[in-house]
Structure 1
């Protein structure tokens, strides 16, 4: 939501608005310029803060003053308003005496906020590329856990000294000192009976409608990400019901899932009156080039090429906001006692992929990956996997002028769905009822098979195996002592020969990490 380069000694100076940014000495704080965001600089004697936050409906943008000088009481009131802001925000607060600052973030985690403090200078950005031009060291412990396919949501990142400000966290800096503070963990949720007279479908519908109407939206500037699956279709139904005819964007897959996906898209877009546009995954295949020099970020995403084609189209059409279905996979968890009653659930493709991943790793990396983790962020109102998905995709969206909105990641909706009785959660029952009521029961029958990208990478890796093997003659992760180069080449041969999903998952993660390390070391 903002970028900043701050010399701590400049914090003793008065902060001023200048050409769309906040200036103090040689330091600058540059808000991300977007109609969905508002920036406020509030000053009082000896201290000031600046916040960049999502706009709330229906307040017009010209009703929010960009700069205010206030007394201490009003300063505290406005500060509390920022801390309790119901949508996403980033807040930088400064005490001029002692040149101290604190950076805070909201709960939604719509975009990443990376921080680095070094030599009494602080750099803040939503774009990791802003850090990649400086010498960076790889955190071997984090790299090892990620090579072993662990999901990590943490302040600690792959690059030493670059910190991710996790949701509700704060980063405190003063001359010669910096420290990070995690928030208090959220209480664990558990299923409970619905209150008498309360209907799960009605409450789900009302909560979802509240989320999609929380921001001031112009219909002709919005795109809806539509895969053809239940999550994005649910968001599309809610947005279309509130805002009318809009544009939808999606990627068409190949293989057995293609025709069912096309049919579902046609049903959805026809019944919601969406203006639909698609791109072919075959026309924009994932980039597997390990020699690529563009810094892509710290989280792997192999389908940004196809997504980028859609984002560029949206920008040409004058759209600046994207509704997504991120968070749907996390809305309806199965709890441990329920899985035991069902016989333990499905045997593990994840375990099989982890087995292949661990065969790549050196004893040193395996030892680190199997160590007890003490760096994870505490439990949050938005599930960690959804927050990681935001961090992965949002920078690319912002580069294309699109602000992401992820209704299924809303904390209120998440809390409600997590507490639903099992019969409302199993098979996403309440979501299925919502879709049946709006689209008809034939769009997502109980036999519906979710379309995935599962076949894209195995086939692509098989076709490009010789090139990848040639590029792996020099292996950055092997040079760091984390990966066995011969094992990596053997895994590549396995994927090329079998095109199986489990070894592909391990290899894909390794290849992304290899490219990332080459870009930043």
Structure 2
């Protein structure tokens, strides 16, 4: 929600002033994200200087005593407090965008955009366990980034910067409902869902901003679309990526039905025109970008650009809808242990790091951690397009409501299906025989763009191979076999995404990788 450069020397006798788009004090500066969805407060007093950035759904103020946990649980907020010799950052529960921190002597740098910190990124300072998580798809919510010199501020965490460096303190684990409850006789959980979604949407509906909706044609985004319409939101523009073939035809039919039901203007991009690693995409161009980005980043960045061209400043999404309906660990048999066999090209450094993959994990969060991890990779593209993403399913009261629902209501997203049925949507929307997926898009991107990229990278010499994270001979065999096979291993995408992203950050220039 902001970027900054803070030198401890400037905080001894602070004299902050506003300069165009940021506050300045000596060589220090703080630049909040300027957007209609955000509010900023600046407070200077004898005990120090405080800056608050919050979204419209948050009621946090700098006047609130000690910025209590209860206050920070309302919407998304970030508090920066500066005193002589000390900088403190406190995050709220929302995690809408990441905040990356890097210390350089007695100067602290921070940004929501990792490439802004690329001067601190070196191939010799890769974080082994973080790289191993990416290559094996064993993702974890943590303050770890791919680089040992950069830290991510996780939800409710506190970062403290002094002459001793930057220290991050995790919060106590968030409390959750651990067992489902029985519904009271006559109770209809659809009413609770409708009420809480309306509550989550109210600040954005009342803002008067141009709202879009990331509409897939699935249950989650359809539920948000109906809730927005029922709560009196102005006319929506819906945006989506249309997959190909018969599956795409069914997806299009659902999209049309949903858009007509809520009176939306629908805008569609053909996903195959923006396949992973496609020419002109961010990875092929070599433009500096976060290696942890969305698999289908090329397509979603095209969607964000289209929405911005249409004047959208707030984008509703169905993100988080899967997680709040998911069965708990005690409600389903444990999944089989993950195998590394499909990633046959792992190098010794990665295999050694597997044992530490669960080190330094953030404690239980207020929101589902898979949702928070998705925010960090999905949302910066919207910010670069001038759009603030809003995820109604992560409203804390709705998360807590869902935790209490019986498994029968959550299983298969029955609650969403029943909600959409009551709203008058046809059965081919509420109970589709086949739902959209991006597996074919992944195969297309890997076959037409990924394999040629892999061959080129192997010929040039890969950074991940040089650092011992992958075995180039093993990867070469996989690529050669994939050329002769009907299916390309999808996990190959993870390696290529990571290699392309690291090269974009660590290269001395912006030479393309493909």
TM-score scaled to structure 2, two decimals?
0.90
Gaps of 5+ in 2: 507-514
Whether the 8 Å contact between 1:36 and 1:216 is mirrored in structure 2 is: no
1:269 paired residue among 252, 256, 259: 259
Deviations 1:4-37 (A, max 9, x none): 0111111121333332321111110001011111
Does residue 167 of structure 1 match 2:155?
Answer: yes
> What is the CA–CA distance in structure 2 between the aligned matches of 1:287 and 1:298, rounded to whole Å?
13
Which residue of structure 1 lines up, in the alignment, with residue 239 of structure 2?
A: 249
More divergent stretch after superposition (411-420 vs 99-108):
411-420
> What is the CA–CA distance in structure 2 between the aligned matches of 1:337 and 1:31, rounded to whole Å?
43
Does residue 440 of structure 1 match 2:408?
Answer: no
> What is the CA–CA distance in structure 1 between the aligned matches of 2:306 and 2:109, rounded to whole Å?
32
More divergent stretch after superposition (508-517 vs 215-224):
215-224
Does residue 121 of structure 1 match 2:107?
Answer: yes
Cα gap change, 1:372 to 1:135, in 2 (>3 Å): closer
Gaps of 5+ in 1: 66-73
Does residue 2 of structure 1 match 2:2?
Answer: yes
1:104 paired residue among 71, 81, 90: 90
More divergent stretch after superposition (272-281 vs 7-16):
7-16
> What is the CA–CA distance in structure 2 between the aligned matches of 1:483 and 1:425, rounded to whole Å?
40
Cα gap change, 1:218 to 1:178, in 2 (>3 Å): closer
Whether the 8 Å contact between 1:146 and 1:152 is mirrored in structure 2 is: no
Cα gap change, 1:23 to 1:39, in 2 (>3 Å): same
Does residue 361 of structure 1 match 2:346?
Answer: yes
Which residue of structure 2 lines up, in the alignment, with residue 280 of structure 1?
A: 270
TM-score scaled to structure 1, two decimals?
0.89
Whether the 8 Å contact between 2:10 and 2:28 is mirrored in structure 1 is: yes
Does residue 214 of structure 1 match 2:203?
Answer: yes
> What is the CA–CA distance in structure 2 between the aligned matches of 1:312 and 1:466, rounded to whole Å?
27
- Give the Å deviation of 1:384: 1.2
The 3-state SS of whatever aligns with 1:450 is: coil
1:509 paired residue among 494, 500, 504: 494
> What is the CA–CA distance in structure 2 between the aligned matches of 1:513 and 1:95, rounded to whole Å?
38
- Give the Å deviation of 1:90: 1.2
Which residue of structure 2 lines up, in the alignment, with residue 68 of structure 1?
A: none
The 3-state SS of whatever aligns with 2:87 is: strand
Cα gap change, 1:247 to 1:220, in 2 (>3 Å): farther
Which residue of structure 2 lines up, in the alignment, with residue 303 of structure 1?
A: 296
Cα gap change, 1:18 to 1:81, in 2 (>3 Å): farther
1:468 paired residue among 441, 451, 454: 454
Whether the 8 Å contact between 2:158 and 2:170 is mirrored in structure 1 is: yes
2:385 paired residue among 379, 397, 400: 400
The 3-state SS of whatever aligns with 1:123 is: strand
| Residues 61-100 of structure 1 mapped to structure 2, 5 A cutoff | 75=63, 77=65, 79=67, 83-84=71-72, 86-96=74-84, 99-100=85-86
Does residue 182 of structure 1 match 2:170?
Answer: yes
Please give the root-mean-square deviation of Cα atoms over the aligned residues, in Å: 2.5
Does residue 17 of structure 1 match 2:8?
Answer: no
> What is the CA–CA distance in structure 1 between the aligned matches of 2:431 and 2:363, rounded to whole Å?
36
The 3-state SS of whatever aligns with 1:509 is: helix
- Give the Å deviation of 1:295: 1.9
> What is the CA–CA distance in structure 2 between the aligned matches of 1:378 and 1:277, rounded to whole Å?
40
- Give the Å deviation of 1:509: 0.6
Which residue of structure 2 lines up, in the alignment, with residue 314 of structure 1?
A: 307
2:319 paired residue among 308, 326, 343: 326
1:200 paired residue among 157, 182, 189: 189
The 3-state SS of whatever aligns with 2:258 is: helix
> What is the CA–CA distance in structure 2 between the aligned matches of 1:402 and 1:511, rounded to whole Å?
28
Deviations 1:146-185 (A, max 9, x none): 2121112110110111111001111001123321001111
Deviations 1:196-238 (A, max 9, x none): 5543111111111110113354556111110111111111111
Whether the 8 Å contact between 2:98 and 2:112 is mirrored in structure 1 is: yes
Which residue of structure 1 lines up, in the alignment, with residue 512 of structure 2?
A: none
> What is the CA–CA distance in structure 2 between the aligned matches of 1:93 and 1:83, rounded to whole Å?
16
2:469 paired residue among 454, 479, 482: 482
